Amino acid sequence: MTYLSIDQCDAFYGDQKVLECVTLDVDKGDVVSLIGPSGSGKSTLLRVLVGLNKPTNGRVVLEGEEIDYHNKRSLRRARERFAIVFQQYNLFQNMTVLKNVTIAPVKIQGRSKKEVEKEAIEILEKVGLGEKLKSYPEELSGGQQQRVAIARSLALKPEILLLDEVTSALDPELVNEVLDTIRLLAKEGRTMIIVSHEMSFVLEVSSKIAFMDAGKIIEVGEPHKILKNPDTDRAREFMGKILRH
Amino acid sequence: MWERIAEELPRFFTYYNVIFLLKAMFTTFLLSMIGCLLGSIMGGVLAILKLTKSAMLLPLRAVALVYIEFFRRIPFLVTLLLIFFVFQAIGLEMSVFAVAVVSVWVIATAFIAEIARSGLESVPAAQWEAAEVMNFNLLQTLRTIILPQAWKVILPPAFSFFVMFIKDTALASQIGVVELTYSAKVLNNKGFSAALAFGVVLLLYYMLSYPLTKIGAWMEKKLDIS
Amino acid sequence: MNYTIHFSQVVEYIPYLIGGAWISLQVAFLSFCGGMVIGLFGAMTKTFGGPITRRIVDAYVSFFTNTPQLVQIYFLYFALPEVGILMNSYQAVLLGMTLNAGGYLTEIQRAGFISVRQSELEAAETLGMNLIQKVRYVILPHILKVLFPSLSNLYILMTLGTSMAAIFGLEELTGRALNINAETFRSIEVFSLTAVLYVIVTIAASLTLLFVGRVFFRVKGKVF
Q: How do residues A172-214 score in pLDDT, each as one tens digit? A: 889 999 999 999 999 999 999 999 988 889 999 999 999 999 9
Residue of B nearest to A76 (CA): B135
- Most distant CA pair in chain B, distance: 76
Q: How far apart are CA A45 and CA A217, in angstroms?
A: 10
| Contact yes or no for B126 and A94 at CB 8 A | no
- pLDDT value for B93: 87
Strand arrangement, sheet containing A4-13: A16-26, A4-13, A55-62, A65-66
- pLDDT value for B12: 86
**If you ran DSSP here, which 8-state letter would residue A61 be given?**
E
> Which residue segments constitute the domains of chain C, with CATH numbers given?
8-217 (1.10.3720.10)
Asked whether A195 and A165 are in contact (CB, 8 A), the reply is yes
Asked whether A216 and A58 are in contact (CB, 8 A), the reply is no
Angle at C12 between CA C10 and CA C16, to 5 degrees: 95
Q: How far apart are CA C161 and CA C68, in angstroms?
A: 11
- pLDDT value for A33: 94
Beta-bridge partner residues of A204: none
B interface with A, Cβ–Cβ < 8 A, is 126-127, 129-136, 140, 144-145, 148-149
ipTM of the predicted structure? 0.92
Any idea where the domains of chain B sit in the sequence?
A: 2-225
What is the mean pLDDT of the segment spanning B155-173? 95
| Per-residue CA distances from A237 to A194, A229, A241, A242 (Å) | 22, 11, 6, 9
CA nearest neighbour of A3 among A195, A209, A191, A194: A191
CA nearest neighbour of A162 among A36, A51, A39: A51
- pLDDT value for C182: 92
Q: Which fold has domain B2-225?
A: MetI-like fold (1.10.3720)
| Contact yes or no for C68 and B77 at CB 8 A | no
β-pairing, A216-221 with A208-213? antiparallel
Partners of residue B75 in chain C, C-beta under 8 Å: 160-164, 174, 198
- Determine which helix (DSSP H) or strand (DSSP E) holds A193, and give its type and residue range: strand A191-195
pLDDT per residue, tens digit, chain A (245 aa), is: 678 999 999 999 888 999 999 999 999 999 999 999 988 899 999 999 999 999 998 899 998 889 999 999 999 999 999 999 999 989 999 999 999 999 999 999 999 999 999 999 999 999 999 999 999 999 999 999 999 999 999 999 999 999 999 998 899 889 999 999 999 999 999 999 999 988 889 999 999 999 999 999 999 999 988 888 888 888 888 888 877 65
Candidates A91, A93, A163: best to mutate against B (most CBs of B within 10 A) is: A93
Beta-bridge partner residues of A32: A193, A208
Asked whether B200 and B192 are in contact (CB, 8 A), the reply is no
Instruction: Count Cβ atoms within 10 A of the Cβ of residue B140 and give its class: 0-12 exposed, 13-18 middle, 19 or more buried.
Output: middle
- pLDDT value for B226: 57
SS3 at position A222: coil
What CATH number does the domain containing A84 carry?
3.40.50.300
Angle at C180 between CA C176 and CA C181, to 5 degrees: 115
Q: How far apart are CA A89 and CA A137, in angstroms?
A: 10
Q: Which of C63, C72, C202 sits opposite B73 (nearest CB)?
A: C202
Name which of A39-43, B111-115, B206-210 the model is least confident about.
Answer: A39-43
Partners of residue B195 in chain C, C-beta under 8 Å: 75, 79-80, 82-83
Residues of chain C with pLDDT under 70: 1-3, 117-119, 135, 137-140, 217-224
| Contact yes or no for B74 and C177 at CB 8 A | no
- pLDDT value for C67: 97
Amino acid in the structure at residue A80? E
**Number of domains observed in the structure of chain A:** 1
The pLDDT-based confidence of B177 (bands split at 50, 70, 90) is very high
Asked whether A122 and A137 are in contact (CB, 8 A), the reply is no
Domain that holds residue A232: 4-242
Residue of B nearest to C165 (CA): B77
The helices-and-strands tally (H runs, E runs) of chain B is 10, 0
**Ramachandran region of residue A140, left (φ > 0), alpha (ψ -120 to 50) or beta?**
beta
- State the angle between helix axes of B76-90 and B96-121 in degrees (0 to 180), rounded to the nearest 10: 120
| Contact yes or no for C83 and B195 at CB 8 A | yes
- pLDDT value for C81: 92
CA distance C122 to chain B (A): 32
| Contact yes or no for C78 and B188 at CB 8 A | yes
Q: Does B89 touch chain C (CB under 8 A)?
A: yes
Q: Which of B69, B91, B206 sits opposite C66 (nearest CB)?
A: B206
